[in-house]
Structure 1
Amino acid sequence: MKHEPQGIVSHYLHTQVKEGALLQFTGPSGKFTFSEADAESVVLIAGGVGITPMMSVVRYLTDRSWKKDIFLLFSCKDRVSIIFREELEYLQKRYANLHVTISLSQENSPAEGIYLSGRITKEVLNARVPDITSHRIHICGPVPMIDAVKQILSELNVPKENVRVELFPAPAPPKKTPVPPLGATSSTDTAAVVTFVKSNKKALLTPDKSILEASEEVGVNIDYSCRVGTCGICKTKLLTGSVTMAVEDALDDDDRARHIILACQAKATGPVAVDA
């Protein structure tokens, strides 16, 4: 594994884990996937290590000789930083329906084949992806890159329902702060109370605090991974009350019908109870 000094996982593995250590992993999760039945074409836009899930899609589709267009736009610093470089160059030559563009943000060399200097811009998307509003689009990479690409897609009038996003990496868990007693006053006057029924515990839930954050403060274990509403690991049943969620990407209609919420996104201004 490549060591990224600012990376949460790779830095930990390189600096803390020793040979023979026992590690526990969870399997893949979330809905950031694409198969032949999902759309007539796909645009994959990746930044840095965000190429990883995109390569899974490319391999899946090319292994099955999918005939529809696959547009892959990959942004990284320079040629040395390109992950899967040899494989991408090979697949580009072998499959005529795979259109690869690699933008190098820290190189000023002239455009050559699949390589461009600079970042992925509106002009690049217009030139490399014909009729971009008609395609399914997947984006994965650092948050600033995702925000920039989403803004470009909005300016190009791409329908929001055509866009899927996977954040990479997820934000770190918040720092723990002292938990005031449930009967305390002051700034907690506007707080609601969340009841964790299985654990027989309660916590204050201020308007800006998620149920997952409240659970961590009182020692209730709710599994999680992304903390941004896309993986679905923190799905929890809402027993009473109502919540709002800024992101619900990991929920489907069946989940909503069964009152399943995402603990990392769920916030409330009134009393709620969850099955945790």
Structure 2
Amino acid sequence: MTMTTPTLSHPLRVWDGTEELECVSVIPEAPNVMSFCFQAPSGALFSYKPGQFVTLELPVPGGPLYRTYTISSSPSRPMSITVTVKAQDGSLGTRWMLDQLRPGIRLKATAPGGHFTNHEMFGRKYLFISAGSGITPMMSMTTWMFDQGRPADIVFVNCAKRPSEIIFRERLEHMASRVTGIDLKWVVEQNDPYTPWTGYQGFFNQLMLGLMAPDYLEREVFCCGPEPFMQAVRDALQGLGFDMDHYHQESFGAPTPEVAEDWTEDDTVPEEGANAEVTFAISGVTHACKETDTVLLAARAAGLNIPSGCTFGVCGTCKIKKTSGQVHMVHNGGITDDDIEEGYILACCSNPIGKVEVEA
């Protein structure tokens, strides 16, 4: 029998955010948690670093609404990209996804971004600590290392309210059953009714850390979850003398002040009460504001819609090019030095100094 190799009718290319994503499957993971798998209609492949995120444009009533989600799939599986989301109380965008987003619907999205990744740290010993949906970047990084086929050394800690709310539990246990380098540690606050639980119970603390990973001082720590949880993890590590240069965290809430990067032009800072003016060149709109306002606030006040996600300088969704003037920008990693050199700013965390013009 003669075997033939399939050929592609078009050259391979990488999805860059200019093409809409098509939802191809929806998978329930836990209560109020679903995974949404997307493909590029053109067949473009996905290239990103494990742990990075995308920002989706969600067509909610009164929208659009921009929401940033960590990619839970791995770049070692480039045919599709998956985000796993959990609807919190009062959530609008995520609730719309759970109720309305189905296979066949297409969404606009930005190209992957973010710096929370172990991509260039292969071969080190890791301690992944997460709570709730903060497990998603850890899932991506663990799957990426598993797919490499090389030995890994991961202590994987996830905290949840109940065992039934541990996201990806079965998939992670399957990976851990195939290799010796993935050590899973589940922590729950309470049991599920009529279901015995023999793992850790309570809240993550220093004693648990010492039992789970006695060699934690030798590990690279990645942490993701609600800010109070991450603060507790930081306090535990610092109290045990951990070198925090080897601690990394991801959060789309308001970052702690010491995390922010203060970037300015000529050390110019906004003055309380000083007047400013922002010209949006493409829209042909000029709006008067205060220097303590951000470019994003000025745009909204002028009736313009600049895409934005986290509004804390993390996700990079609101990146626009500044063509003239000065701004004071305090960001949290959502823009690169190369972007800044080319004149780009983040509208959500840039204060106009005097007259400023941007491409929007």
TM-score interval for Structure 1 and Structure 2 normalised by the shorter chain: 0.7 to 0.9
Aligned pair partner of 1:261 in 328, 334, 345:
345
Residue 24 of structure 1 corresponds to 107
Q: Per the alignment, do residues 165 and 19 of structure 1 end up closer, same or farther by CA in structure 2, a change over 3 Å counting? A: closer
Q: Is the aligned partner of 1:213 residue 2:294?
A: no
Query: 1:244 and 2:340 equivalent?
Result: no
Taking the aligned partners of 1:262 and 1:159, their CA distance within structure 2 comes to 31
Aligned partner of 1:227 in structure 2 is 311
TM value normalised by structure 2: 0.60
Q: Deviations over 1:82-106 (max 9, x none)?
A: 1111122222233222122111023
Q: Which has the higher helix share?
A: 1
Identity of aligned residues (%): 28
The residue type equivalent to 2:327 in the other structure is S
Q: For residues 7-50 of structure 1, give each alpha carbon's deviation from its aligned partner in whole angstroms, at most 9, with x where no partner exists.
A: 433422344x3878844141543233322545623322211112
Aligned to 1:199: 283
SS in 2 for 1:30: coil
SS in 1 for 2:329: coil
Where does the alignment leave 5 or more consecutive residues of structure 1 unmatched? 172-187
User: Aligned to 1:54, which of 135, 138, 141?
Assistant: 138
Q: Distance in 2 between the 1:20 and 1:78 partners?
A: 30
Amino acid at match of 2:328: V
Letter aligned with residue 250 of structure 2:
E
Q: Does 2:156 match 1:72?
A: yes
Task: State TM-score, norm by structure 1.
Answer: 0.76
1:86 and 2:162 aligned? no
Aligned-residue RMSD, C-alpha: 3.3
Residue identity matched to 1:267: N
Report the counterpart of residue 208 of structure 2 in structure 1: 124
Q: Distance in 1 between matches of 2:299 and 2:351?
A: 12
Q: 1:65 to 1:154 in 2, by over 3 A?
A: same
Rounded to whole Å, the distance in 2 between the matches of 1:212 and 1:35 is: 32
Once the two structures are TM-superposed, the CA of residue 60 in structure 1 deviates from its matched residue by 0.7
SS of alignment partner, residue 339 of structure 2 = helix
Amino acid across the alignment from 1:44: F
Give the unaligned 5+ runs of structure 2. 1-27, 33-86, 256-271
- Name the residue aligned to 1:179: none
Post-superposition shift, 1:62?
A: 0.8
Structure 1 pair 198–118 and aligned structure 2 pair: CA distance change class (3 A): same
Cα pair distance change 1:196/1:125, threshold 3 Å: farther
CA distance in 1, matches of 2:228, 2:296: 25
Secondary structure, counterpart of 2:307 in structure 1: coil
Query: In 2, distance between residues paired with 1:98 and 1:199?
Result: 52
Would the aligned equivalents of 1:74 and 1:101 in 2 still touch at CA under 8 Å?
Answer: yes
| C-alpha separation in 1, matches of 2:170 and 2:223 | 22
Higher relative contact order (CA 8 A, sep 6+): 1
TM-fit CA distance, 1:73: 1.2
Partner of 2:127: helix, strand, or coil?
strand
- The separation in 1 between residues aligned to 2:236 and 2:290, in whole angstroms, is 35
The structure-2 alpha-carbon separation of the partners of 1:211 and 1:20, relative to structure 1 and needing over 3 Å to count, comes to: same
- Deviation per residue, 1:47-98 (Å, 9 max, x gap): 1112122111111101112323222111110111111111222222332221
SS of aligned partner of 2:327:
coil
Match of 1:137 in 2: 221
Assess, with a 3 A threshold, how the Cα gap between structure 1 residues 75 and 195 changes in structure 2: closer, same or farther. Answer: same
Distance 1:49-1:273 versus aligned 2 partners, 3 A rule = same
Provide the C-alpha distance between the structure 2 equivalents of 1:233 and 1:88, rounded to a whole number of angstroms. 31
The 3-state SS of whatever aligns with 1:150 is helix
**Residues 152 and 21 from structure 1, CA distance in 2 versus in 1: closer, same or farther, beyond 3 angstroms?**
same
Q: CA deviation at 1:244?
A: 2.9
Structure 1 distance, partners of 2:138, 2:211, is: 21
Aligned residue identity for 1:242 = V
CA offsets per residue over residues 143-168 of structure 1, 9 Å max, x none? 32233323334444545543333225
Counterpart for residue 42 of structure 2: none
How far does the alpha carbon of each residue in 1:192-211 deviate from its partner, in whole angstroms, 9 at most, with x for none?
33332333323345465432
